[in-house]
Amino acid sequence: MNHRQSHRLSVQISPLLLALLGGVLGLSACSPQETPDAPLDSYLGDPDCDPILPGFSYTRELGGLPPACALPWPSSLYLKDDPTRKTGYTLTFGSRSLPENKQGIPIDPAAYRRRDGYSVGTPLMMVIPGVDLTGFATEDHIAQSLDKDAPLKWFEVSGSTVRRIPYWVERDSLDLESSRSTIFVRPAVILKEATRYVVALGELKDSQGKPIPPSPAFARLRDGQTANIPVLRDRQARFDKTFAFLEGQGLSRSSLSLAWEFHTASSESMHGDLLAMRDDALQRMGAKGPALTVEKVVEYAKINDGSGRPVNEYIGLELTGTFEVPSYLEATMISGFVGSQIRRDSQGKPSAQGTRKPRFWVRIPHTALGGPPHGLVLYGHGLLGSGSQVTSGFNGKIASDHKLIFFATDLYGMSDEDALPLLSILSELGRFRSLSDRLHQGLTEWVLLARAMRERLGELPIAVSKKIQVNKAELFYSGISQGGIFGASFVALSPDVTYGHLGVPGNNYSTLLQRSTDYQQFAPVVSSSYLDSVNQSVVLATIQLLWDSTDPVSFLRHVTKEPFPGNSPHYVLLAPAKGDYQVSVMTNEIAARSELGIALMEHYDKERKVALVSEQKYPYQGSAVVLYNFGNPWPAPGNLPPKEDMLGDPHEKPRRQDSHNVQMVNFFRTGQIIDVCGGDGCTPAVHADTSSGR
């Protein structure tokens, strides 16, 4: 018995067994190879599942549905017509469509009905046993996905405008059963909101070169033979629309092994709650934002002067305290877990009740004490960390060198206090809405603190007594790792911050997680709760539907190209590190490929060119990606973290380079990205920390 079989028992139900158990399981005796004249109800399986995948069979797990139930993902089966929604759909999974954990608890579909489509970062996912993927585009040959004879074609349809979507195909590297592993088709661009997408696969073959026939259900839909089968008849009109479109693209029905379409969610669906919270909170707090209550002041000496004060070469004053903000959350019980959810009014809109008092930290350099006006930088902390990480030494040197005051608060929802609850969430992912809703509160608090620091910091008694002047025209953002990720969401959201630095960033957690060494501490919880690798793939794609409301994969469009209502275009400098162990650099290339106003700067990398992207010359005015190369190799393709190399993880290195920080601050103050790397790419010769602090 192999590793996976030691956790569960998989049974291929024969026609005879189906006949014997039909009364108990509600199944009929038939074979997936039955002729089209057979009653299709007999091999449709559970009505909560989509049976159109080639090779769809009756493999059932004890106590649960087939692992491939919701595949192909994203399935049009769950897009129910709804003329009240912008896309015309409400995402409506069946009560048992989504995977169950080992306790037999399926993910509750209720939270997902707030979506009117699928994620703009969604992969296509399929399970086609034995399929030969030779000839499909791979991560290092993305351009092949646009070839005329590509075996899979992915179309974006906006009115009369049709374009092909670039992608790559990869098997799930974490699945031990390669014959039925998940096949990911990952978009090489961020998809558009509220948009129709059509997918078509031509003839499929197995490893011996034998054709893999379409499923009986798909064959019926393709051939229009569904009149006597209600569960398919109700889908026929939508599939006819799909087939008609594909015929217009030169693909005949008879050539298709599989085809379907789906819609992505609208911005209103993904961002409406957070924008409503932002606007309501700013209105409640007034033009100056929430009051700042200083609870502790630490004064530092620049050198040991005998005063007994602690010594800090760069920082002269540290303030800690709280700020009181509206709370949009209420406690809720989710599958035995006490979590949070957005409180809503009778119209379903977020509603504040009571307040919270988050912590803040402020780091003021010696140069600001009785010196010239200093700008402000909101600092975004790392994974499940704290705003106290703003005290890192490299920030002190940046503050001193460039006359900046750094401040921070926790990102509620993914801060240190959320680490323990996260384990409970990962064991039963129906609870994930608690994390997602808390992030709404956290980003709203970032917006409020930025406003308050700009308007109130210089008025604090301690600031007045120390003759600290705040340059209100300079309010910036800088975050690293998790802070680099959510920084894009914050800069898009904030009405006050125009320029942001995203250190070692990425986007789309459903793609990032398995490619990160950080996920290795959480993966055992997921894999021990969702025992089948296919189900693990599905649950990650499922929770991304909620994560999209805060994940930069849906916000990058709204930084520069399509600002949110009330905002002007904002700009971000993305500074990833080649070979980063923790955040996949490749996801920034996806952003640069997506026509979002995010450029890829020249000399990106000598070893490889980024497919379908033209590099921009320095200096550059606008949002862009600058790659920092410390000599690490590119990771191998696939949904695995990079292997360790002799140079070690470069994740923390860019922020410690003086040249990087000069580039960042110049971008803050001029909006221009300059070359600080000598004209041949940012490849620092020294792989250790520089004088930027530790």
158 found inside a domain: yes
- Confidence at residue 687, expressed as pLDDT on a 0 to 100 scale: 38
User: What pLDDT, on a 0 to 100 scale, did the predictor assign at position 16?
Assistant: 30
Does 382 lie in the same domain as 246? Answer: no
Write the pLDDT tens digit of every residue in 106-150: 899 999 999 999 999 999 999 999 999 999 999 999 999 999 999
pLDDT at 196: 98
Burial annotation 154-190 (CB, 10 A radius, 16+ → b, else e): bbbbeeeeeeebbbbbbebbbbebeebbbbbbbbbbb
At 47 the pLDDT is 82
Domain boundary residue, one of 444, 468, 492: 468
Which of 240, 267, 294 corresponds to the end of one domain?
Answer: 267
With beta carbons less than 8 A apart as the criterion, state whether 49 and 59 touch: no
pTM, rounded to two decimals: 0.92
pLDDT at 307: 86
* Other residues' Cβ atoms within 10 Å of the Cβ of residue 679: 8
Tell me, what's the pLDDT at 178?
66
Q: Is residue 446 located within the same domain as residue 319?
A: yes
- Say what the pLDDT of residue 15 is: 35
Distance in angstroms (rounded) separating the CA atoms of residues 436 and 441? 9
Same domain, 114 and 156: yes
Tell whether 50 and 86 lie within a shared domain.
yes
195 and 93 both lie in a single domain: yes
Q: Are residues 249 and 363 in the same domain?
A: no
pLDDT digits (tens, 9 = 90+) for 9-64: 232 323 332 332 233 223 332 333 344 444 444 446 678 999 999 976 534 433 44
Q: Report whether 36 contacts 223 (CB < 8 A).
A: yes
Structural domains counted in the chain: 2
DSSP conformation letters of 269-307: HHHHHHHHHHHHHHHHH-TT-S-EEEEEEEE-BSS--SS
Q: Could you tell me the CA-to-CA distances from 41 to 46, 226, 238, 258 in Å, in that order?
A: 10, 11, 20, 20
Residues 250 and 294 in one domain: no
Q: Which residues of the chain have pLDDT under 50?
A: 1-43, 58-64, 686-694
pLDDT of amino acid 496: 98
Domain around 119: 30-267
Residue 130 falls inside a structural domain: yes
pLDDT for the residue 680: 81
What is the Rg, in whole angstroms, of the alpha carbon atoms belonging to the chain?
27
- Write the pLDDT tens digit of every residue in 7-23: 332 323 233 323 322 33
- Beta pairing partners, 111: none
Which amino acid, one-letter code, is at 636?
A
